[in-house]
Homo-oligomer: A and B are copies of this chain.
Amino acid sequence: MTYKLEMLPREKVFRDPIHNYIHVQHRVILDLINTKEFQRLRRIKQLGTASFTFQGAEQSRFTHCMGVYEITRQICDNFKRNYPTKNPGDGLWNDDERIVALCAALLHDVGHGPYSHTFEHIFNTDHEQWTQRIITSKETEINQVLRQVSDDFPEKVASVIAHTYDNPQVVQMISSQIDADRMDYLLRDAYFTGTKYGMFDLTRILRVMRPYKNGIAFDYDGMHAVEDYVLSRFQMYQQVYFHPVSRGMEVVLTKLLQRAKDLYEHNHMNDFEMPSLLIPFFENNVGIDDYLSLDDGILNTYFTLWQNYPDEILKDLSYRFLSRKPLKSAEYDQETEKILPKLADIVESAGFAKEYYTSTNTSYDLPYDVYSPNSNKNRTQIEIMRDDGSLIELSTISGLVNALTGKISGDERFYFPKSMLVEHPDDIFSNTYEQFQEHIFNDEII
Protein backbone atom coordinates (compact mmCIF):
# COMPACT_ATOMS: atom_id res chain seq x y z
CA MET A 1 0.00 0.00 0.00
CA THR A 2 1.28 3.48 -0.77
CA TYR A 3 2.09 5.80 2.08
CA LYS A 4 -0.74 8.08 0.94
CA LEU A 5 -3.37 5.51 1.71
CA GLU A 6 -1.60 3.69 4.51
CA MET A 7 -3.96 3.11 7.40
CA LEU A 8 -2.81 2.59 10.96
CA PRO A 9 -3.15 -1.04 12.06
CA ARG A 10 -5.60 0.20 14.63
CA GLU A 11 -7.27 3.60 14.70
CA LYS A 12 -5.61 5.89 17.24
CA VAL A 13 -7.74 8.22 19.33
CA PHE A 14 -6.95 11.43 21.16
CA ARG A 15 -9.24 12.37 24.00
CA ASP A 16 -10.72 15.83 23.49
CA PRO A 17 -13.32 17.65 25.56
CA ILE A 18 -15.10 19.09 22.49
CA HIS A 19 -15.32 16.09 20.18
CA ASN A 20 -14.86 13.45 22.91
CA TYR A 21 -12.39 11.53 20.74
CA ILE A 22 -10.38 12.60 17.73
CA HIS A 23 -9.95 9.62 15.42
CA VAL A 24 -6.72 9.22 13.48
CA GLN A 25 -6.78 6.50 10.88
CA HIS A 26 -4.02 7.40 8.39
CA ARG A 27 -0.30 7.03 8.98
CA VAL A 28 0.39 10.41 7.35
CA ILE A 29 -1.87 12.25 9.82
CA LEU A 30 -0.21 10.63 12.83
CA ASP A 31 3.23 11.46 11.41
CA LEU A 32 2.23 15.10 10.89
CA ILE A 33 0.96 15.37 14.45
CA ASN A 34 4.31 14.09 15.66
CA THR A 35 6.42 16.71 13.84
CA LYS A 36 8.16 19.32 15.90
CA GLU A 37 6.46 22.14 13.99
CA PHE A 38 3.02 20.82 14.83
CA GLN A 39 3.92 20.06 18.47
CA ARG A 40 5.09 23.68 18.80
CA LEU A 41 1.43 24.72 18.58
CA ARG A 42 1.01 23.35 22.10
CA ARG A 43 3.00 26.36 23.27
CA ILE A 44 0.83 28.99 21.59
CA LYS A 45 -2.48 29.93 23.14
CA GLN A 46 -5.47 29.92 20.84
CA LEU A 47 -6.95 33.14 22.18
CA GLY A 48 -3.90 35.20 23.09
CA THR A 49 -4.82 37.76 25.73
CA ALA A 50 -8.41 36.56 26.14
CA SER A 51 -7.42 34.32 29.03
CA PHE A 52 -6.75 37.49 31.04
CA THR A 53 -10.53 38.03 30.91
CA PHE A 54 -11.90 34.50 30.63
CA GLN A 55 -9.61 32.55 32.89
CA GLY A 56 -10.39 29.13 31.44
CA ALA A 57 -9.40 30.17 27.89
CA GLU A 58 -5.90 28.75 28.10
CA GLN A 59 -6.33 26.22 25.31
CA SER A 60 -3.59 25.98 22.68
CA ARG A 61 -3.69 26.15 18.89
CA PHE A 62 -2.69 22.48 18.99
CA THR A 63 -6.09 21.39 20.32
CA HIS A 64 -7.90 23.62 17.84
CA CYS A 65 -6.02 22.17 14.86
CA MET A 66 -6.82 18.65 16.02
CA GLY A 67 -10.48 19.67 16.23
CA VAL A 68 -10.55 21.14 12.73
CA TYR A 69 -9.05 17.90 11.46
CA GLU A 70 -11.75 15.89 13.27
CA ILE A 71 -14.66 17.94 11.91
CA THR A 72 -13.20 17.66 8.40
CA ARG A 73 -12.92 13.92 8.85
CA GLN A 74 -16.57 13.72 9.85
CA ILE A 75 -17.61 15.80 6.84
CA CYS A 76 -15.67 13.45 4.55
CA ASP A 77 -17.29 10.41 6.16
CA ASN A 78 -20.72 11.91 5.68
CA PHE A 79 -20.05 12.89 2.06
CA LYS A 80 -18.62 9.48 1.29
CA ARG A 81 -21.62 7.68 2.76
CA ASN A 82 -24.37 9.88 1.35
CA TYR A 83 -23.04 11.70 -1.69
CA PRO A 84 -20.38 9.60 -3.42
CA THR A 85 -19.54 10.70 -6.95
CA LYS A 86 -20.66 8.45 -9.74
CA ASN A 87 -19.42 10.33 -12.77
CA PRO A 88 -16.69 12.93 -12.99
CA GLY A 89 -18.17 16.40 -12.82
CA ASP A 90 -21.43 15.33 -11.17
CA GLY A 91 -20.68 17.64 -8.28
CA LEU A 92 -20.70 14.83 -5.72
CA TRP A 93 -17.87 13.83 -3.40
CA ASN A 94 -14.74 12.12 -4.64
CA ASP A 95 -13.18 10.46 -1.61
CA ASP A 96 -9.71 10.64 -3.21
CA GLU A 97 -9.80 14.23 -1.99
CA ARG A 98 -9.95 13.09 1.63
CA ILE A 99 -6.23 13.07 2.36
CA VAL A 100 -5.52 16.53 1.01
CA ALA A 101 -8.52 17.86 2.92
CA LEU A 102 -7.43 16.21 6.17
CA CYS A 103 -3.84 17.45 5.87
CA ALA A 104 -4.92 20.99 5.06
CA ALA A 105 -7.36 20.96 7.97
CA LEU A 106 -4.73 19.76 10.42
CA LEU A 107 -2.06 22.19 9.24
CA HIS A 108 -4.14 25.26 8.47
CA ASP A 109 -2.84 27.20 11.49
CA VAL A 110 0.71 25.86 11.71
CA GLY A 111 2.15 29.24 10.77
CA HIS A 112 0.73 31.07 13.76
CA GLY A 113 3.26 32.95 15.85
CA PRO A 114 3.03 33.83 19.54
CA TYR A 115 0.18 36.19 20.47
CA SER A 116 -0.55 36.10 16.82
CA HIS A 117 -2.31 39.19 15.58
CA THR A 118 -0.43 41.52 17.89
CA PHE A 119 2.91 40.05 16.96
CA GLU A 120 2.08 40.10 13.25
CA HIS A 121 1.11 43.71 13.48
CA ILE A 122 4.41 44.84 14.99
CA PHE A 123 6.74 42.60 13.02
CA ASN A 124 4.82 42.61 9.79
CA THR A 125 4.48 38.85 9.44
CA ASP A 126 1.47 36.97 8.08
CA HIS A 127 0.48 33.63 9.52
CA GLU A 128 -1.22 32.33 6.37
CA GLN A 129 1.93 32.90 4.33
CA TRP A 130 4.02 31.30 7.04
CA THR A 131 1.70 28.31 7.05
CA GLN A 132 2.28 27.83 3.34
CA ARG A 133 6.02 28.36 3.73
CA ILE A 134 6.28 25.78 6.53
CA ILE A 135 4.37 23.28 4.41
CA THR A 136 6.42 23.82 1.27
CA SER A 137 9.95 24.39 2.64
CA LYS A 138 12.05 21.27 2.35
CA GLU A 139 13.73 21.86 5.67
CA THR A 140 10.67 21.23 7.85
CA GLU A 141 9.61 17.87 9.26
CA ILE A 142 6.10 18.58 8.01
CA ASN A 143 7.31 18.92 4.46
CA GLN A 144 9.27 15.71 4.75
CA VAL A 145 6.19 13.82 5.84
CA LEU A 146 4.05 15.29 3.06
CA ARG A 147 6.63 14.56 0.39
CA GLN A 148 6.36 10.88 1.22
CA VAL A 149 2.88 11.05 -0.25
CA SER A 150 4.15 12.58 -3.48
CA ASP A 151 6.52 15.30 -4.58
CA ASP A 152 3.76 17.76 -5.37
CA PHE A 153 1.69 16.97 -2.32
CA PRO A 154 3.07 19.79 -0.14
CA GLU A 155 2.14 22.29 -2.84
CA LYS A 156 -1.33 20.80 -3.09
CA VAL A 157 -1.92 21.11 0.63
CA ALA A 158 -0.59 24.66 0.61
CA SER A 159 -2.89 25.56 -2.26
CA VAL A 160 -5.92 24.60 -0.17
CA ILE A 161 -4.77 27.13 2.44
CA ALA A 162 -4.23 29.66 -0.36
CA HIS A 163 -7.76 29.02 -1.73
CA THR A 164 -6.33 28.11 -5.12
CA TYR A 165 -6.92 24.37 -5.00
CA ASP A 166 -9.19 23.29 -7.81
CA ASN A 167 -11.82 21.44 -5.81
CA PRO A 168 -14.08 24.07 -4.20
CA GLN A 169 -15.57 21.50 -1.82
CA VAL A 170 -12.19 20.94 -0.19
CA VAL A 171 -11.45 24.67 -0.04
CA GLN A 172 -14.81 25.46 1.54
CA MET A 173 -14.47 22.70 4.13
CA ILE A 174 -11.39 24.48 5.47
CA SER A 175 -12.22 28.06 4.70
CA SER A 176 -15.60 29.63 4.11
CA GLN A 177 -18.20 31.38 6.21
CA ILE A 178 -19.20 28.05 7.74
CA ASP A 179 -16.16 25.81 7.73
CA ALA A 180 -14.46 23.29 9.99
CA ASP A 181 -12.15 26.00 11.31
CA ARG A 182 -14.87 28.35 12.51
CA MET A 183 -17.07 25.53 13.77
CA ASP A 184 -14.28 24.13 15.91
CA TYR A 185 -13.12 27.41 17.39
CA LEU A 186 -16.62 28.57 18.30
CA LEU A 187 -17.40 25.37 20.20
CA ARG A 188 -13.94 25.17 21.70
CA ASP A 189 -13.75 28.77 22.80
CA ALA A 190 -17.25 28.55 24.25
CA TYR A 191 -16.24 25.48 26.25
CA PHE A 192 -13.00 26.85 27.62
CA THR A 193 -14.28 30.34 28.37
CA GLY A 194 -17.33 28.79 30.00
CA THR A 195 -19.70 31.02 28.01
CA LYS A 196 -22.64 29.51 26.19
CA TYR A 197 -22.89 31.91 23.26
CA GLY A 198 -20.75 29.80 20.94
CA MET A 199 -22.83 26.65 21.25
CA PHE A 200 -24.65 25.45 18.18
CA ASP A 201 -25.77 22.07 16.91
CA LEU A 202 -22.67 20.71 15.15
CA THR A 203 -24.18 17.26 14.60
CA ARG A 204 -27.16 18.69 12.83
CA ILE A 205 -25.08 21.00 10.64
CA LEU A 206 -22.88 18.09 9.63
CA ARG A 207 -25.98 16.12 8.73
CA VAL A 208 -27.40 18.80 6.44
CA MET A 209 -24.11 19.66 4.68
CA ARG A 210 -23.85 18.41 1.13
CA PRO A 211 -21.44 18.77 -1.74
CA TYR A 212 -22.46 20.34 -5.04
CA LYS A 213 -20.67 21.50 -8.13
CA ASN A 214 -19.44 24.81 -6.75
CA GLY A 215 -18.71 23.77 -3.22
CA ILE A 216 -20.83 22.97 -0.18
CA ALA A 217 -24.50 23.68 0.43
CA PHE A 218 -26.97 22.95 3.24
CA ASP A 219 -30.34 21.21 3.13
CA TYR A 220 -33.33 23.50 3.45
CA ASP A 221 -34.41 21.48 6.51
CA GLY A 222 -31.31 22.60 8.30
CA MET A 223 -31.70 26.29 7.63
CA HIS A 224 -32.41 27.12 11.25
CA ALA A 225 -29.35 25.21 12.45
CA VAL A 226 -27.19 27.23 10.06
CA GLU A 227 -28.88 30.44 11.14
CA ASP A 228 -28.18 29.53 14.75
CA TYR A 229 -24.51 29.03 13.89
CA VAL A 230 -24.29 32.49 12.29
CA LEU A 231 -25.87 34.04 15.37
CA SER A 232 -23.59 32.12 17.73
CA ARG A 233 -20.59 33.35 15.83
CA PHE A 234 -21.86 36.92 16.05
CA GLN A 235 -22.45 36.59 19.78
CA MET A 236 -18.96 35.17 20.42
CA TYR A 237 -17.41 38.15 18.65
CA GLN A 238 -19.48 40.62 20.61
CA GLN A 239 -19.10 38.94 23.96
CA VAL A 240 -15.73 37.23 23.96
CA TYR A 241 -13.40 38.14 21.13
CA PHE A 242 -14.03 41.89 21.35
CA HIS A 243 -13.98 42.11 25.13
CA PRO A 244 -12.56 45.54 26.08
CA VAL A 245 -10.34 44.16 28.86
CA SER A 246 -8.62 41.58 26.64
CA ARG A 247 -8.03 44.37 24.17
CA GLY A 248 -6.59 46.46 27.01
CA MET A 249 -4.00 43.72 27.53
CA GLU A 250 -3.41 43.50 23.80
CA VAL A 251 -2.62 47.20 23.75
CA VAL A 252 -0.08 46.71 26.57
CA LEU A 253 1.55 43.89 24.60
CA THR A 254 1.65 45.91 21.39
CA LYS A 255 3.29 48.85 23.11
CA LEU A 256 5.75 46.57 24.88
CA LEU A 257 6.91 44.94 21.65
CA GLN A 258 6.99 48.35 19.98
CA ARG A 259 9.18 49.73 22.76
CA ALA A 260 11.62 46.81 22.43
CA LYS A 261 11.79 47.31 18.69
CA ASP A 262 12.31 51.05 19.06
CA LEU A 263 15.08 50.57 21.60
CA TYR A 264 16.81 48.09 19.33
CA GLU A 265 16.51 50.29 16.29
CA HIS A 266 17.97 53.25 18.17
CA ASN A 267 20.73 51.12 19.61
CA HIS A 268 19.48 51.78 23.09
CA MET A 269 19.13 48.17 24.01
CA ASN A 270 22.01 47.01 26.14
CA ASP A 271 23.38 43.50 26.31
CA PHE A 272 21.32 42.45 29.25
CA GLU A 273 18.09 43.30 27.55
CA MET A 274 19.05 41.70 24.26
CA PRO A 275 16.52 39.03 23.25
CA SER A 276 18.53 36.79 20.97
CA LEU A 277 15.53 35.02 19.48
CA LEU A 278 13.81 38.29 18.57
CA ILE A 279 16.72 39.94 16.77
CA PRO A 280 15.85 38.44 13.37
CA PHE A 281 12.44 40.05 13.75
CA PHE A 282 13.89 43.41 14.76
CA GLU A 283 16.13 43.25 11.72
CA ASN A 284 13.32 42.07 9.47
CA ASN A 285 15.34 39.11 8.30
CA VAL A 286 13.48 36.06 9.54
CA GLY A 287 14.42 32.52 8.54
CA ILE A 288 12.04 29.64 8.95
CA ASP A 289 13.98 28.36 11.97
CA ASP A 290 13.84 31.78 13.59
CA TYR A 291 10.10 31.85 13.11
CA LEU A 292 9.52 28.36 14.42
CA SER A 293 11.63 28.86 17.51
CA LEU A 294 9.17 31.38 18.94
CA ASP A 295 6.24 30.69 21.20
CA ASP A 296 4.24 32.46 23.92
CA GLY A 297 6.60 31.32 26.68
CA ILE A 298 9.66 32.74 24.94
CA LEU A 299 8.13 36.18 24.72
CA ASN A 300 7.10 35.92 28.37
CA THR A 301 10.68 34.94 29.26
CA TYR A 302 12.00 38.17 27.76
CA PHE A 303 9.31 40.12 29.55
CA THR A 304 10.36 38.47 32.82
CA LEU A 305 13.97 39.47 32.21
CA TRP A 306 13.04 42.99 31.14
CA GLN A 307 11.28 43.59 34.44
CA ASN A 308 14.73 44.00 35.93
CA TYR A 309 16.36 46.04 33.20
CA PRO A 310 17.17 49.73 32.97
CA ASP A 311 14.68 51.14 30.49
CA GLU A 312 11.76 52.38 32.59
CA ILE A 313 9.13 52.04 29.92
CA LEU A 314 10.16 48.55 28.86
CA LYS A 315 10.31 47.55 32.51
CA ASP A 316 6.92 49.00 33.39
CA LEU A 317 5.11 47.59 30.37
CA SER A 318 6.64 44.15 31.00
CA TYR A 319 5.37 44.29 34.57
CA ARG A 320 1.92 45.39 33.43
CA PHE A 321 1.70 42.56 30.95
CA LEU A 322 2.88 39.77 33.22
CA SER A 323 0.91 40.99 36.22
CA ARG A 324 -2.26 41.72 34.25
CA LYS A 325 -2.59 45.48 34.52
CA PRO A 326 -4.67 46.29 31.42
CA LEU A 327 -5.05 49.82 30.10
CA LYS A 328 -8.55 51.16 30.60
CA SER A 329 -10.72 52.43 27.79
CA ALA A 330 -13.73 54.41 26.67
CA GLU A 331 -15.68 54.29 23.42
CA TYR A 332 -15.41 57.08 20.91
CA ASP A 333 -17.11 57.85 17.65
CA GLN A 334 -16.42 60.00 14.60
CA GLU A 335 -17.38 63.06 16.53
CA THR A 336 -15.41 62.48 19.71
CA GLU A 337 -12.42 61.10 17.83
CA LYS A 338 -11.37 64.71 17.41
CA ILE A 339 -10.55 65.16 21.06
CA LEU A 340 -8.36 62.06 21.36
CA PRO A 341 -5.14 64.05 20.69
CA LYS A 342 -6.10 66.36 23.54
CA LEU A 343 -6.71 63.41 25.83
CA ALA A 344 -3.38 61.87 24.84
CA ASP A 345 -1.70 65.14 25.75
CA ILE A 346 -3.34 65.11 29.16
CA VAL A 347 -2.08 61.56 29.70
CA GLU A 348 1.40 62.71 28.72
CA SER A 349 1.20 65.64 31.12
CA ALA A 350 0.36 63.20 33.91
CA GLY A 351 3.72 61.58 33.29
CA PHE A 352 2.96 58.78 30.78
CA ALA A 353 4.69 58.84 27.40
CA LYS A 354 1.64 59.05 25.19
CA GLU A 355 3.25 57.00 22.42
CA TYR A 356 3.36 54.00 24.76
CA TYR A 357 0.47 54.62 27.15
CA THR A 358 -2.38 55.66 24.88
CA SER A 359 -3.82 53.95 21.89
CA THR A 360 -6.93 53.50 19.86
CA ASN A 361 -8.19 50.00 19.26
CA THR A 362 -10.87 49.08 16.81
CA SER A 363 -12.68 45.78 16.78
CA TYR A 364 -14.62 44.90 13.72
CA ASP A 365 -16.21 41.85 12.21
CA LEU A 366 -18.42 41.23 9.24
CA PRO A 367 -20.75 38.63 10.77
CA TYR A 368 -21.98 37.44 7.40
CA ASP A 369 -21.66 38.59 3.83
CA VAL A 370 -23.01 37.78 0.41
CA TYR A 371 -21.14 37.78 -2.84
CA SER A 372 -20.59 41.22 -4.24
CA PRO A 373 -18.72 41.70 -7.46
CA ASN A 374 -17.01 44.90 -6.39
CA SER A 375 -15.72 43.88 -3.00
CA ASN A 376 -12.00 43.35 -2.73
CA LYS A 377 -12.15 40.46 -0.29
CA ASN A 378 -15.02 38.27 -1.31
CA ARG A 379 -16.53 35.68 0.91
CA THR A 380 -18.31 32.54 -0.21
CA GLN A 381 -21.94 33.02 0.67
CA ILE A 382 -23.94 30.30 2.44
CA GLU A 383 -26.16 28.41 0.03
CA ILE A 384 -29.29 26.52 1.05
CA MET A 385 -30.53 23.71 -1.16
CA ARG A 386 -34.26 23.07 -1.65
CA ASP A 387 -35.83 19.64 -2.26
CA ASP A 388 -35.61 20.12 -6.01
CA GLY A 389 -31.88 20.92 -5.90
CA SER A 390 -32.20 24.65 -6.46
CA LEU A 391 -30.06 26.97 -4.31
CA ILE A 392 -31.05 29.97 -2.29
CA GLU A 393 -28.70 32.28 -0.40
CA LEU A 394 -29.15 32.17 3.38
CA SER A 395 -29.92 35.83 4.09
CA THR A 396 -32.83 35.84 1.65
CA ILE A 397 -34.75 33.37 3.82
CA SER A 398 -33.52 34.34 7.29
CA GLY A 399 -34.56 37.72 8.55
CA LEU A 400 -32.05 37.45 11.35
CA VAL A 401 -29.11 36.69 9.12
CA ASN A 402 -30.28 39.42 6.80
CA ALA A 403 -30.12 41.86 9.70
CA LEU A 404 -26.41 41.03 10.10
CA THR A 405 -25.49 40.81 6.43
CA GLY A 406 -22.81 43.14 5.22
CA LYS A 407 -22.88 45.16 8.41
CA ILE A 408 -19.64 45.64 10.22
CA SER A 409 -20.03 45.22 13.95
CA GLY A 410 -17.65 46.25 16.68
CA ASP A 411 -16.57 49.40 18.42
CA GLU A 412 -13.73 51.92 18.61
CA ARG A 413 -12.07 52.52 21.94
CA PHE A 414 -9.42 54.84 23.30
CA TYR A 415 -7.02 53.23 25.80
CA PHE A 416 -5.13 54.94 28.64
CA PRO A 417 -3.66 54.15 32.09
CA LYS A 418 -6.18 53.20 34.75
CA SER A 419 -4.80 55.79 37.15
CA MET A 420 -6.22 58.52 34.93
CA LEU A 421 -9.64 57.60 36.32
CA VAL A 422 -8.71 57.59 39.99
CA GLU A 423 -9.23 60.54 42.26
CA HIS A 424 -5.93 62.07 43.36
CA PRO A 425 -6.93 64.84 45.72
CA ASP A 426 -3.46 65.54 47.08
CA ASP A 427 -1.56 64.97 43.91
CA ILE A 428 0.20 67.83 42.14
CA PHE A 429 -1.43 66.46 38.98
CA SER A 430 -4.92 66.53 40.45
CA ASN A 431 -6.09 69.12 37.96
CA THR A 432 -4.78 67.03 35.14
CA TYR A 433 -6.78 64.02 36.25
CA GLU A 434 -9.96 65.99 36.73
CA GLN A 435 -9.60 67.48 33.30
CA PHE A 436 -9.30 63.98 31.85
CA GLN A 437 -12.22 62.58 33.78
CA GLU A 438 -14.56 65.27 32.53
CA HIS A 439 -14.36 63.63 29.13
CA ILE A 440 -15.47 60.17 30.21
CA PHE A 441 -19.15 59.41 30.86
CA ASN A 442 -21.13 56.18 30.71
CA ASP A 443 -18.03 54.38 29.42
CA GLU A 444 -17.86 56.80 26.49
CA ILE A 445 -15.79 59.76 25.50
CA ILE A 446 -17.76 62.98 25.46
Number of interface residues of A (CB under 8 A): 78
Verify if A380 is at the interface (C-beta below 8 Å from B). Answer: no
- A43 is contacted by which of B15, B42, B300 (Cβ under 8 Å)? B300
What are the residues of chain B within 8 A of A40 when measuring CB–CB?
A: 322
Tell me, yes or no, whether A383 is within 8 Å of chain B by CB. Answer: no
A238 CB-CB contact with B under 8 Å: yes
Q: Which residue of B lies closest to A289 (CB)?
A: B308
> In the complex the two chains form, is A386's CB within 8 Å of B43's CB?
no
Binding stretch for chain B, among A49-57, A91-99, A355-363: A49-57
B-facing residues in A319-364 (Cβ within 8 Å): 319, 322-325
* Contact yes or no, A66 B55, CB < 8 A: yes
User: Is the CB of A151 closer than 8 A to any CB of chain B?
Assistant: no
Residue of B at shortest CB range from A42? B51
| 9-residue interface stretch from A159-167, A168-176, A194-202, A251-259 | A194-202
Are B324 and A39 in contact (CB-based, < 8 A)?
Answer: yes
**A193 at interface (Cβ–Cβ under 8 A)?**
yes
Q: Which residue of B lies closest to A272 (CB)?
A: B276
Residues on the B chain within 8 Å of A39, using CB: 322-324
Whether A177 sits at the interface, judged by CB under 8 Å, is no
Mark each residue of chain A from 229 to 241: 1 if its CB lies under 8 Å from any CB of chain B, else 0.
Answer: 0010011001100
Assess the B15–A387 pair: CB atoms within 8 A. Answer: no
Once the chains are docked, how many angstroms separate the CA of A277 from the CA of B306?
A: 13
A441 in complex: contacting residue of B34, B239, B388, B441, CB < 8 Å: B388
A238 to B223, CA, bound (A): 11
A123 within 8 A of B: no
Bound: A40/B399 CA distance, A: 41
**Cβ of A304 under 8 Å from chain B:** yes
Q: Is the CB of B59 within 8 A of A63?
A: no
- Known contacts A15-B55, A39-B323, A42-B51; decide if A298 and B293 are in contact (CB<8 Å): no
The answer for the CA separation of A304 and B290 in the assembled complex, in Å, is 11
Please give me the residue from chain B that is nearest to A203 by CB atom: B20
Closest chain B residue to A235 by CB distance? B228
Q: Which residues of B contact A399 (CB under 8 A)?
A: 403-404, 407, 409
Closest to A52 in B: B42
Q: Mark A253-276, 1 if CB is under 8 A from B, else 0.
A: 000000000000000000000000
Tell me the complex Cα distance, A428–B365, Å: 61
| Chain B positions within 8 Å of A366 at CB level | none
The answer to whether residues A59 and B56 also contact, given A203-B20, A386-B442, A403-B400 and a CB cut-off of 8 A, is yes
Q: How far is the CA of A186 from the CA of B431 in the complex (A)?
A: 53
Bound form: Cα–Cα A227–B232 in Å: 11
The distance from the CB of A321 to the nearest CB of chain B, in whole angstroms, is 10
Per-residue B-contact encoding for A55-75, CB less than 8 Å = 1, 0 else: 110111011001000000000
Q: List 25 interface pairs A-B (beta carbons < 8 Å), by A numbering.
A: A15-B56, A15-B193, A17-B192, A17-B193, A18-B56, A18-B194, A35-B323, A36-B322, A39-B322, A42-B52, A42-B324, A58-B58, A192-B192, A195-B201, A196-B200, A196-B201, A197-B228, A227-B235, A228-B235, A295-B297, A296-B297, A298-B300, A387-B443, A400-B400, A403-B403
| 5 closest A-B pairs by CB | A297-B297, A17-B194, A403-B403, A36-B323, A301-B301
Chain A residues packing against B (C-beta within 8 Å): 10, 13-18, 20-21, 34-36, 39-40, 42-43, 51-56, 58-60, 62-63, 66, 82, 191-197, 199-201, 203, 207, 220, 224, 227-228, 231, 234-235, 238-239, 277, 293, 295-298, 300-301, 304-305, 319, 322-325, 386-388, 399-400, 402-404, 407, 409, 441-443
Given contacts A15-B56, A399-B409, 5 further A-B contacts (CB under 8 A): A21-B203, A231-B400, A277-B305, A386-B442, A388-B441
